[in-house]
Structure 1
Amino acid sequence: MRNKHVVVIPFPAQGHVMQLMEVARCFTSDGLKVTFVNMEFTHKQVMSAWSDGQSDLMQMVCITDEMEPDDRKDLRKLLEAMSRVGPNKLEELIKGINKVDDDEITCIIADNCMGWVIRVAQKMGIRQATYYVGSAANLALLLSLQKLMEDEVIDTKGVPLKNEMVQLSTTMPSMDPAHFPWLCMGDPVSNQIIFDIMVLEGKEAAEASDYIICNSHMELEPGAFSLFPKMLPIGPLLSTTRSAKQAGHFWKADNTCQNWLDQQPVCSVIYVAFGSLTVFDQNQFEELALGLELTNKPFLWAVRPDMPYVYPSGYMDRVSSHGKVVSWAPQQEVLNHPSVACFVSHCGWNSTMEGVSNGVPFLCWPYVGDHFSNTTYIRDIWKTGLGLDKDESGVVTRGEIKSKVEQLLSNKTLKENALNLQEKLPSGNSSYNNIRKFIDWIKEGGDNLPANEEAQTSC
């Protein structure tokens, strides 16, 4: 019997690759054949860091962007190169696979911000779906762009025209236009590139796709799913629920974390990690280091290997009895450990979902993009964490860090809220049913789309 064969292709960034890798592994565990397509430079990183066994049903391949390594640090050049080179390379790859593989490719799952992939699927007559790596609220925002322009909330370049809060529907939280994700990438040039290529093309890709799946849950964002029933929540996507190790890391995870956590008291450890994009200057890094030291509590701190930070003089010796610093942590396993008391985080959506799924309170330190709207969920909607305030020079001081950690750990209500939210996300829930329906849709190969029944009922 021939297997249904699916192509999965993520945007070349850590959080995107990890989420779509988990989607792919869900597919293979249900008998689907998957070709996972990375860009060449991320493919090498993933394969060098992957120590867990790979499924016979998933092959890892890559296509080139034909760029020089240093040029990839320029977002504009990267996006333009992928849009220019990617379509032909992907089409060639698919044709080559179909020539030699008895199981022809019948569906493409593309990262929502890779609009050119959906255009390839349409050209080749292959069914397609998009996957959105952020919150359903931000996906709803993307799908509401035309209305926001018509209502003169933003102009055609995504720039806010009004200084007032916006609600996409009465069942969704208010949004500050100044914190729309494409406006929080740093400099104006990067913001515009994000809007033109990733946001506008992402909107077109989502609208053209047969379905949109995302790593969220009806209990977390009911208003967004009610507004757009085409969005199918299949999260939280966690490898720990399958007793597997998370795949898709760009760096090898330090597996000594578990042994160290085993030696710490229950609910005592401050876990600190800021994902794959956050960059501090040396002064802010030192304030963070000294703030953790001042708490005088056990802490596990992930400091990326690509960051050339210098620790304060004598720091490692002073904190050696209660602090552990690693280059990259197996985060899902860490957050699932009973010793972890709280999570100091940039609040990327992966980290947000992993913390929520484990009932861990947050200390929010957003950096770019959707981190700010995710912080709003954590701090104001779910009420499972606190924010950090910067001083007049824009620095989060060591004193602020110490103070907020103490407030967070002494606040029983925040912990109770975190545990209550966790209980709303059990296994065998609506998200599980949704991914089952989606897989059945792929296997059946027909035109009947898997319905988000809860969203349709609540409309």
Structure 2
Amino acid sequence: MKNQIPTLLMLPCPATGHVNPMITIALKLVEQGCNIIFVNTEFNHNRVVKQESTNNNGSSIKFVSIQDGLGAENDRSNAGELCESMLKTMPSMLEKLIDEIHLSSDHRISCIVADMAMGWAMEVACKMRIRGALFWTGSAVMFALTSNTPMLIHNGVIDSQGMPLTTRRFQLLPGMPAEMDTNIIWWSKISNTTIQKKVYDYFVQCMQYINLSDWWLCNTTYELEPATLSYVPKLLPIGPLLRSHDDAIATATSIGQFWDEDLSCMSWLDQQPHNSVLYVAFGSSTLFDQNQFAELTLALELTNRPFLWVVRQDYHRTDKKAYTSEIRGNRGKIVGWAPQEKVLSHPAIACFVSHCGWNSTIEGLSNGVPFLCWPYFTDQFHNKTYICEELKVGLGFDSDENGLIQHGEIKMKVDQLLNDENIRSRSLKVKEKLLSNISKEGQSSMNFKRFVKWLKE
């Protein structure tokens, strides 16, 4: 039977960089006439939900929650503890939630769309005879790496704990022309070895269930990662996932945020000259110690350029007020959280000083903004290499012998980037290619339409 209104249960990994793109997909599916039940952990539920539902074309997103298994006293920024607890407790809780939904409403869930970092949900889907689809929030090459750990062990690239045996280059997939450096192995970038092992084990478990799903979706494009996508044909790119470039969902840009967006930065940007502002934002997890924070503060002062700096409310490793109060004024604007897509699309933005998370990478590239790359952990180091060496639309920073990036280095790279017209030109060309994918007949749009058609059949 065709043209039914599907009811989908969507399950993101409980982290900002995972929730946001999945809500973007949810909004796009609502626009296509789907009903969405969006499941957050109870801890994140109140942080994410600004309103209980978003109505659109008679459909809605209904936000619900389940426990992650941790107590109020537990530190959920400890990814190792969170992964262990989720795997132990959440599958049975998800099953119970689905039973309750089926008993209490006329809608039966027709498909579970889960984050691949919640891949165990596909076993629940199979058990309950529900179709399944998975969404990978990182780059395609990171998916290929993570889903092929048995091969990496067999080929002597990593040991059974997931750690690189040597620093060398290796071939990620048979037949792929390019070799990868062992620095690409994202879980090895977690400095705490106990957390690293728990996170690695968790993802190995999740990857065991991916073949139970009918679809693998990814926030990328064929132009960005042609080699990887040609060797993993089941992974379908539906990116760039952007709300501000989609008229149907542009008004819903704030849904899914863990922090309140300070919209005053938009009117401040309106007062700045075109291509003048440094946008400085390091995502939801990056933390600097006091010395590094001080160096960055001094560098922003010395550039003598207007800047918009996102300093999160939970930025607790230093007394931010002692520094940021000194540089507030007409030239600089500091906010706790920003509407990033709107900011990056503003004509005043000259460059993006970024941690290079994949969402931020996609958003910056899609707006033609050059990068100054400052990765913090996991896949961000590979994304930096990709931005600087493959696309050539950004520069990285060099640290000193103590691992500190000095203010002089920051100022020098800012000046170098903003005086390089070739980088700006390449950035605009990448933007054009990416946005063509989400035009009406673009490849990513066509992939998404195929997925929606399957959901309705």
Indicate the TM-score class for this superposition, using the shorter chain for normalisation: over 0.9
SS across alignment from 1:113: helix
Q: What is the aligned partner in structure 1 of residue 38 from structure 2? A: 36
Matches within 5 A, 1:123-138: 123-138=127-142
Once superposed, what is the RMSD of the aligned Cα atoms? 1.8
Gaps of 5+ in 2: none
Work out whether 1:166 is the aligned partner of 2:174. no
Query: Could you tell me whether the CA contact under 8 Å between 1:86 and 1:116 is conserved in 2?
Result: no
- Tell me the equivalent position of 2:275: 267
Asked if the contact 1:172–1:224 (Cα under 8 Å) also holds between the matched residues in 2, the reply is no
1:402-442 per-position Cα deviation (integer Å, ceiling 9, x unaligned):
01000010011111111111111222310011011011111
2: distance between equivalents of 1:292 and 1:314?
11
* Residue equivalent to 2:313: 305
Q: In structure 2, what is the Cα distance between the partners aligned to 1:79 and 1:201? A: 11
Instruction: Tell me the distance in 2 between the aligned counterparts of 1:88 and 1:143.
Output: 24
Change over 3 Å in CA distance of 1:323–1:53 after alignment to 2:
farther
Q: Deviations 1:212-252 (Å, cap 9, x if unpaired)? A: 10111111000110010010100000000124142211001
TM-score (norm 1): 0.93
CA distance in 1, matches of 2:214, 2:321: 53
Among candidates 182, 185, 191, match of residue 180 of structure 1: 185
Q: What residue in structure 2 maps to residue 393 of structure 1?
A: 402
Amino acid at match of 1:306: D
Alignment equivalent of 2:207, drawn from 194, 197, 203: 203
Q: Does 1:9 align with 2:8?
A: no
What residue in structure 1 maps to residue 289 of structure 2?
A: 281
Contact 2:53/2:63 (CA < 8 Å) preserved in 1? no
Change in Cα spacing, 1:310 to 1:91, as seen in structure 2 (3 Å) is same
Bigger mean CA deviation after superposition, 207-216 or 297-306: 207-216
| CA distance 1:312–1:96, shift in 2 (3 Å) | closer
| 1:44-55 superposed matches below 5 A | 44-48=46-50, 53-55=54-56
CA contact (8 A) 1:10 1:38 kept: yes
Tell me what 2:68 maps to.
65
Deviation per CA, 1:33-84: give whole Å up to 9, x if none.
1100000011110014x69955442100000124223312332221222112
1:364 is aligned to 373
The one-letter code matched in structure 2 to 1:190 is I
Which runs of at least 4 in structure 1 moved beyond 4 Å after TM superposition?
50-56, 169-173, 311-315
- Structure 1 225/402 Cα, relative in aligned 2: closer, same or farther at 3 Å? same
1:363–1:385 contact (8 Å) kept in structure 2: yes
5 Å-filtered alignment, 1:11-410, equals 11-48=13-50, 53-55=54-56, 56-71=59-74, 72-169=76-173, 171=176, 173-198=178-203, 200-243=204-247, 244=250, 245-246=252-253, 247-308=255-316, 309-311=318-320, 316-410=325-419
Secondary structure at the aligned position of 2:180 is classed as coil
Tell me if the contact between 2:11 and 2:113 (Cα under 8 Å) persists in the aligned partners: yes
SS for the counterpart of 2:110 is strand
Residues 279 and 51 of structure 1, relative CA distance in 2, 3 Å threshold? farther
The AA in structure 1 aligned to 2:71 is E
Specify the code of the residue in structure 2 equivalent to 1:145. Answer: T
CA positional deviation for 1:312: 7.5
- Could you tell which deviates more after superposition, 119-128 or 346-355? 119-128
Give the Cα separation in 1 of the matches to 2:339 and 2:132.
Answer: 32
Q: How far does the alpha carbon of each residue in 1:132-182 deviate from its partner, in whole angstroms, 9 at most, with x for none? A: 000001011123222222221122221222321123256565322134111
Does the C-alpha gap of structure 1 residues 318 and 190 become closer, same or farther in structure 2, counting only changes over 3 Å?
closer
* Separation in structure 1 between the aligned mates of residue 290 and residue 9 of structure 2, nearest angstrom: 42
List per-residue Cα deviations over 1:369-421 (Å, max 9, x = no partner): 00011111100111110000101111111111101000010011111111111
CA distance in 1 between counterparts of 2:328 and 2:309 reads: 11
Q: Which of 261-270 and 163-172 deviates more?
A: 163-172
**Deviation readout 1:289-314 (Å, 9 max, x if unpaired):** 11111100000000001113324857
Which residue of 424, 429, 433 corresponds with 2:433? 424
One-letter identity of the residue aligned with 1:96: E
Separation in structure 1 between the aligned mates of residue 262 and residue 327 of structure 2, nearest angstrom: 22
Check whether the contact 2:81–2:195 (CA below 8 A) recurs between aligned residues.
no
Residue 286 of structure 1 contacts residue 312 of structure 1 at CA under 8 Å; is this kept in 2? no
Instruction: Name the residue aligned to 1:450.
Output: none
Q: Identity, % of aligned pairs? A: 43
Instruction: Tell me: CA distance 1:286–1:172, structure 2 relative to 1, closer, same or farther (3 Å).
Output: farther
| Aligned counterparts of 2:387 and 2:53: Cα–Cα separation in 1 | 32
- AA paired with 2:179? S
Give the TM-score of the pair, scaled to structure 2.
Answer: 0.93
Task: Give the counterpart letter for 1:147 in structure 2.
Answer: M
Corresponding residue for residue 433 of structure 1: 446
- What do the CA deviations read for 1:318-338 (whole angstroms, capped 9, x no partner)? 441200000000000000000
Partner Cα separation in structure 2 for residue 346 and residue 103 of structure 1: 41
Unaligned runs of 5+ in 1: 445-459
The secondary structure found in structure 1 opposite 2:418 is: helix
